[in-house]
Structure formats: structure tokens, C-alpha cells
Structure 1
Amino acid sequence: MKRLLFAFLLAGYTFTINAQDNMAKDPVKKIEVTGSAEMEIVPDEIYFSISLKEYFKDEKNQKDKVTIDVLEKQLIAAVIKAGFPRDNLTIKAITGYRNWTGKKKPLYFLESKRYVLKMNNLYKSDVILDEVDDKGIEFVNIDHVDHSQIKDYRKEIKIKALQAAKEKATYLLESINEKVGDILMIEELDDQFYAPQPMMMSNVRMMKAGGDAAPMEDSSLEYQKIKLSYKMKAAFKIK
């Protein structure tokens, strides 16, 4: 039994020595580099947030409540009138507030709904807000922005990052009279997607109630661009 165990150990030792000898005789010369690339794109999808809230026409006596259903129908009709498909409007959140009397008896309950409308033209928001009851609009803002071809742009920038890695390896090796060989390894290091929200626009009516808000005047409003940034690590043989 001892002789058999010794034979196995000897075989393993011999194999290790042979492998190390082969690596020493024919080492793989390689270079590892990192390439990066960036791209900024103008968003073509704007997600406009609109919050509607129930209210009383007679606030003092809490009578004649304008319900959320009435306000929602106004909003849907306004969205269609502005030329957007009904499916572009979705509900993001539903909240409510109940006022209680000192006798633990509910006085009234007011519901609010927050909607998000997918748009490609923000200036039509003015048309939409004009069609909805002023007092029923709680607030509006930009929820977020995106681009319809973002996946294609991501592929493009990753390719550019990998190409940058090969270009770097090429000029580094040329500086020492060497050449780039076959690819050995590719690794993604960073996958960054930065889409800042545009600033809240003071000329879009944040609260129409009272009729003090002014219509949009500046038609040259610009958004911060979506920034894509990627890094790719690659290893190449040295010829």
C-alpha cells in the first residue's frame, strides 16, 4: 500500500515539474491594457410627471368635491388632444389624506394620483395643463429622460472602448519594437449610465391654481445630455 501511494506521489511530482519546464521553455508574452470611451446623447424620451388631487369647490364647508375620476378623465382627454397615445399615460402612485374631527369621526378624505406621461415634445405639456382643472393640479415635474435607441448606443460605445484598448496596446508595443498578437482576454470593467434630470422649469406651471402662472415662453429649452461611459480590459499576445 505504501509503495502504491509513493508511486502516485512520484507521478504527480513528475507531472508538475514537466509542466513548469514547458512553461519556462515557451512562456506566453502578453500585454494587458484598459480602453475607455464616452458618448453624450440628447434624450428623445421625456417622462413628464403630473400629480392630480381632489378638492372641494366650497372649501369652507367641504362641499362639492371634485373627484379624482373627474380630473383623470380631463387628463386623459388632454393627452389624446395633444396627440399622444392613451398608453403613454400610466399611474405611478396613489395617495390620500383623511381629516378627522376631535370626536374621532372622519371629516373628509382627499385622494391624489401621480401620473407619468411619455413624451417626445415637452412643449405640448402646456396644452395638456390647459385642459385640466387648475385647482386639481397638485404639481408637475420631469420624472426622468431616456433615449429610444439607448441599447444600440451602449453597444457602440463598448466597441469603441475595446478598440481603444487594442489601439493602446499597439502603440505601446510599437514603442519597443513589438507587435500585437491574438486576443487572450476581454473583461468589462465599468458600465455607467448617467441621465440627469432636467432642472425644474419655472415657466411650466407648477401650480396653476390662482391663475398666476405664465405660459412657456422659451422654445429653446435644452436638456442635459445622457452620458454613457465604459471601460474594457483586454490582454493580447505579443508576437
Structure 2
Amino acid sequence: MKKVILLSFLFMSTVVIPSFSQTTIVQQPPQRKIEVAGFSEMEVVPDELYFNISLREYFNDEKNQKDKVIISTLEKQLIKAIAEAGLPKEVLSISGVGGYQNYVDKKKKPATFLESKQYELKIDRADKLDAILSKVESRGIQYANIARVDHSKKEEFKKQVKINALKDAKNKATYLLEAVDQKLGPVLEIREVEDNINYPQPMFAKSNMRMMAASESADAVQDSDVQYQKIKISYRMQAAFEIK
């Protein structure tokens, strides 16, 4: 009986003891790496300009409040001018409708309601605005101003700027390691750190709009002397590389 117990103990020892030997932890040396940030920037001229335009009814005979030019007449002039400029009708959209009471003499005549209508016009060059508004009755134009700018290929530019920022990070890591006689290994990590897109507002140096020079004919309207900044796209990329 004792022999059986002893043999059983020896058998268990041969099974259990090797299992403890397999739990040995082998420590790996720390990974040698370098982390750097790359930066890239691009400036592009906007090719999408969005203008706010407001048309307002008025009287040809303002004193007697007679011969009113209605809003639909002004709107037709605007739509026709856009078509003659070679632009599709989709570039014009209505952004608001309103109006106001026109008082001339409260004692003698009641107030007359004059309707106004606001639009958003999308064009690719600012000088086209002058050509379009020159064909709309100047007294019916309440105002026209820039709303925002954009670029049709913005997403492509953003992609290129990111790639350039990453290349800048790799270039920076390369020459830093060369300074200490080391070589760049494969990339270990890439992170976007910062992105910035700046949309400046155009600055008008001069204006030849028909509303500012009603006596001029449509043919006499010159290109606007317009100055505006470029859209600025910038990205910062963080990258980690192995040191060989």
C-alpha cells in the first residue's frame, strides 16, 4: 500500500512540476523610438463666393406713392441677369421674405406695405456680381454683401495638407536621428494633433454696383476692384518611428 502511495506521489510530481517551469517571464528590452510632430499649410483662392442680396419694392413716384415696382418684377430681372451671365438657376436661392410700412404723411395718407425679399447667390468670381446687379433696377436693391467663401476642392486640399504634414514629420525624425548616428525604422503610430481652416471675409476696395452708380448703363459697368484673402488650410500630425 505504501508503495502505491509513493508511486502516485512521484507521478503527480512529474506532471505538476514541469507546469511551474513554463510560467517563467522573459522581459523584453524597451522599444527604441522617436516621436515628432509634422506641420503643413496651404493657401487657396476661393472659387465659391456666397452673396446676400435683398430686393425691395419701391414707388417710381415716391412723393405720391404711385406706380409701384413690385417684388416679382425685380425678381424676374435678377433671374434673367443670372441666366445672361451663363449661370444655372440653382445658384440663386431664397433666404428670407419680409417687408415694412412706408409712411409719407400719416395725416393725409395711410401707410403702404412694401415687400422685400432676400436671396443667396453663389458665384465663382466677385466681378460677376456687378454684371448681374447692373441689370436690376438700382432702387430695388436694398443691399448686397458677402456672406461666406469656400472652395469646391477643399476636401482634396485637406487630404494633401495632411500627407505633407506626415512627410514633414518623417523628414524631421530622419535628420534628428542622423544627427546622433541612428537610422529611422518603420512607423509605429500616427495621430492628427491639430487642424485649422481659416475662411476670411473678402475686403472690398471699391464698388461699381449699379446701386451705387444708378446713372451708369449696364455696358459701362467695370470689373470690381476686389481684394480678399485666401483660404488657409493647415494640419499638424504626430508620428512615432522605431529607431533601428
TM value normalised by structure 1: 0.78
Flag structure 1 segments of 5+ consecutive residues without an equivalent: 1-14
Equivalent in the alignment of 2:46: 43
Matched, 1:231 2:209: no
Equivalent in the alignment of 2:193: 189
Q: Is the 8 A contact 1:53 1:113 kept in 2?
A: yes
* CA distance in 1: counterparts of 2:211 and 2:131, whole angstroms: 15
Amino acid at match of 1:205: M
Matched, 1:203 2:210: no
* CA distance in 1: counterparts of 2:79 and 2:224, whole angstroms: 25
Matched, 1:149 2:153: yes
* CA distance in 1: counterparts of 2:225 and 2:77, whole angstroms: 29
What is the CA distance between 1:173 and its match in structure 2? 1.3
Matched, 1:180 2:184: yes
TM value normalised by structure 2: 0.77
Q: How does 1:49-88 map onto structure 2 within 5 Å?
A: 49-88=52-91
Equivalent in the alignment of 1:110: 114
* CA distance in 2: counterparts of 1:173 and 1:44, whole angstroms: 43
What is the CA distance between 1:206 and its match in structure 2? 7.0
Q: Is the 8 A contact 1:161 1:230 kept in 2?
A: yes
53-62 or 167-176: which moved more? 53-62
What is the CA distance between 1:55 and its match in structure 2? 1.6
Amino acid at match of 1:231: R
Q: Is the 8 A contact 1:34 1:232 kept in 2?
A: yes
Amino acid at match of 2:94: I
Amino acid at match of 2:91: N
* CA distance in 2: counterparts of 1:199 and 1:27, whole angstroms: 56
* CA distance in 2: counterparts of 1:219 and 1:56, whole angstroms: 29
Choose which of 133, 137, 142 in structure 2 pairs with 1:138: 142
Q: Is the 8 A contact 2:150 2:231 kept in 1?
A: yes
Q: Is the 8 A contact 2:204 2:228 kept in 1?
A: no
Q: Is the 8 A contact 1:135 1:208 kept in 2?
A: no
Equivalent in the alignment of 1:32: 35
What is the CA distance between 1:209 and its match in structure 2? 7.1
Alpha-carbon RMSD across the aligned residues, in angstroms, is 3.1
Q: Is the 8 A contact 1:30 1:238 kept in 2?
A: yes
Which one has a bigger Cα radius of gyration? 2
Describe the SS at the equivalent of 2:111.
strand
Number of matched pairs: 219
Choose which of 63, 78, 96 in structure 2 pairs with 1:93: 96
* CA distance in 2: counterparts of 1:130 and 1:212, whole angstroms: 8
What is the CA distance between 1:75 and its match in structure 2? 0.4
> Percent sequence identity over matched residues?
51
Amino acid at match of 2:194: D
Change (3 A) 1:75 1:120: same
* CA distance in 2: counterparts of 1:177 and 1:80, whole angstroms: 67
Change (3 A) 1:83 1:212: closer
